[in-house]
Every structure is written in C-alpha cells, then in structure tokens.
Structure 1
Amino acid sequence: MELLQERIRREGRVLPGNIVKVDGFLNHRVDTRLLEDIADEFAKYFDTSKITVVLTAEASGIALATICAQKYGVPMLFAKKAKSDNIESGLYQSEVFSYTYKKRVTLLVSQEWLNADDHVLIIDDFMANGFAVQGLVDIVNEAGAKLEGIGIAVEKGFQGGGDRFRASGIPYKALAVIEKADENGFVFREE
C-alpha cells in the first residue's frame, strides 16, 4: 500500500534495537483517515462478508481493529494482557513474548465473546517476530473458531514473523513490509 509506505518514509524513525517508530500516525497518535484506507485495503484481500469478529491484541492494535470492525459491520474483540475483575466466565489464554516490551505476557479473551460459531479476522498494527499474532491464532484455535485471515498494517520483514504465517497457509496480508530500516531510511518488499 503505497500511501502507508509513504507515511512510513516521511514520518517513521528507527530507534536502537531495530524498533520502527510509527506512533505519530498509526499506534499512539492515530490518523483515522489513514486507518479507514487501511481497512478498505484489507477488504480487497479478505472476504469480509464471512467475518463475525475482528480480533487484535491490547493495546496498539485496537484503533486499527476498531475501524476495520466498524467498516465490516462486526464487533471488535481484543485480547487483554491482564485479567480484570469484570471478566466473569472462563478464559482462552496464550502466553507470548512481547518484542516491544521484552517480556512474556499472557493474552486473555473471555469465552463469553469468542466461540466455535465465529469467523475471525485478526488485525494488528505491527508485526516483528509474530509472537503476539501467534498467540491470537492459538486463542482462535482454542475457541474452535474459524480463522479467516490475518491482516497486518506494518511488518518488519527482516524478522521473519510474516514469512512463517505466509508459509502456514493461513490467508495473510501485510500492507507495508519493511525489508531494511536504518538511519538511511526504509526499504520495502515489493509484492
């Protein structure tokens, strides 16, 4: 998606440790018009008429997943990273390593909101190694739901997470795959 790549070129930065910072428009301060364009782009790759829920992980994927869910006319569900007192029923859970926070976290989804009748589209803002998305896939499988696809706005292609999903046979689409990021800028994979 050329529009997204251009925003990354113009506003993205690379921090020590290969952290790609796009929080000025994607996952801290949010350009909602851009997210609507991203949702429209995902709708070209996935049959959104089958989707009953859009799933993401807390917290930075919530904005994009919400706009996608609104456009597709379905609820958005996010996996929490901490159990709260308002979760009454059983939980689906998956322990994952957070690349951003450099620690293990447990993703939690109430069994009340995800079941075997659901057709799930996983949407996330960013993928590095793919651990969080794999945790969401595990939760979908634990619920017995049907995974219809995985949509990622920005993928760090040099970290291999997206390639594992492409090889798995799960319908997968990343809109901007960064092959190289350094002080000289960004190089994107041509797809």
Structure 2
Amino acid sequence: MELLKERILREATVINNDVLKLDALINHQVDPMLMQELGKEFARRFKEHSITKVITVESSGIPAAFTTALALGVPLVFARRKKTLIADPDALCERVPSFTKGIVTDIMVSRQFLTEEDSVLFIDDIIANGDAARGLIKIIERSGAKLAGVGILVEKSFQAGARTIREQGIKVESLVKISSLEDGKITFE
C-alpha cells in the first residue's frame, strides 16, 4: 500500500538494522484515518473467507484489528499479555518471546471467545521473528477455530517470521514488506 509506505518513510525511525520505530503511526500514537483505510484493505483481501472474528495480540495490533473487524462487521478478540484478577482460569495460554520488548510473556485468550465454529483472521502490526504470531496460531489451533489467514501491516521480510508462517500453509497478507533497514535506510520489496 503506497499510503502506508509514504507514511513510514515520513514518520518512522530506523533504530538499527533490525528495529524500526513506528510510534508516530501505530505503536504509540495512532492515526485513526490511516487505520481505517488499512482495515478496509484487510477486509477486502479476506472478504471471501467468511470471517467470524478478528483476533490480535494486545496492544499494538488492536487499532488495525479493530478497523478490520469493523469493516468486516465481526467481533474483535485480543490475546491478553497480563493475567488479571477476573481472568478466565481456563484460558488458552502460550508463552512467547517479544523481539522488540526483549522479554518473554504469556498470551491468553478466554475459551468462550474462540470456538470451533469460528473462522478467524489474525491481524498484527509488525512481524519480525514471528514468535507472538506462532504463539497465537497455536492458541487458535487448540481452540478448534479455523485460521483463515494472517494480515500484517509491516513485514520485515529480512527476518524469518512471515516466511515460517507461510511455510505452514497459512495465507499471510502483508500491506508493506521491508527488505532492509541497513545503514538507517528503509528499503521496501
């Protein structure tokens, strides 16, 4: 998507050869009009899949997942990263490392929100190594729901995350693919 590429070139910051900071667009400050357009694009790309729910991991994936769910007219479910006092004790859980946060966390989804009747579209903001994505895919599989595909705002194609998911036979649609951040320069595929 040219609109997203333009905004990335204008507002993103290359931290190093592996990390792109998108705080001005999707990770800290969110442009709702941009997110609405991105959600419509995901809805268009997955319209033939009879999606019943959109799912993501909190928190950076929520804006794009919300606008996608809105465009599809279905509920949004997000995997929590922190247990609360009222958390479902029988939730589906998976332990996942976070590339950008440098920590390992548990992600969890209540069984009541993900069932074998569901056809789920997983939306996320960025994919690098794909650990969180693979963790959520395991949760979806254990729930019995059908994974219709994965939509990613920004794929760092020089890292293995999206490739390993595609190798599982899962449809992955990335709106933007970045092939390099070498020397502080963003290079798109």
TM-score, normalization by structure 2: 0.94
In 2: Cα distance, 1:131 partner to 1:78 partner: 16
In 1: Cα distance, 2:182 partner to 2:10 partner: 14
Question: Quick check: 1:23 aligned with 2:23?
Answer: yes
1:88 is displaced (CA, Å) by 3.5
Which stretch of structure 1 is more off in the superposition, 132-141 or 80-89? Answer: 80-89
Which stretch of structure 1 is more off in the superposition, 36-45 or 91-100? Answer: 36-45
Structure 1 segment 10-159 matched on structure 2, within 5 A: 10-16=10-16, 18-47=18-47, 50-159=50-159
SS at match of 2:83: coil
How many residue pairs get aligned? The number is 189
SS at match of 2:152: strand
In 1: Cα distance, 2:185 partner to 2:166 partner: 26
SS at match of 2:109: strand
1:67 is displaced (CA, Å) by 1.2
| Structure 2: 5+ residue stretches without partners | none
SS at match of 1:42: helix
In 2: Cα distance, 1:88 partner to 1:36 partner: 31
SS at match of 1:170: coil
Higher helix content, 1 or 2: 2
Alignment root-mean-square deviation, CA: 1.4
1:183 is displaced (CA, Å) by 4.3
1:93 is displaced (CA, Å) by 0.8
SS at match of 1:9: helix
Encode CA deviations 1:46-97: one digit per residue, 9 max, x unaligned: 1266111110001111111111111111111110111111224511011111
Distance 1:17-1:85 versus aligned 2 partners, 3 A rule: farther
Which stretch of structure 1 is more off in the superposition, 83-92 or 41-50? Answer: 41-50
Distance 1:88-1:107 versus aligned 2 partners, 3 A rule: closer
Residues 17 and 180, structure 2, Cα contact 8 Å, conserved in 1: no
Residues 9 and 185, structure 1, Cα contact 8 Å, conserved in 2: no
1:17 is displaced (CA, Å) by 6.1
Q: Which residue of 2 aligns with 1:177?
A: 177
In 2: Cα distance, 1:34 partner to 1:182 partner: 27
TM-score, normalization by structure 1: 0.94
Residues 12 and 21, structure 2, Cα contact 8 Å, conserved in 1: yes
Seq. identity, %? 40
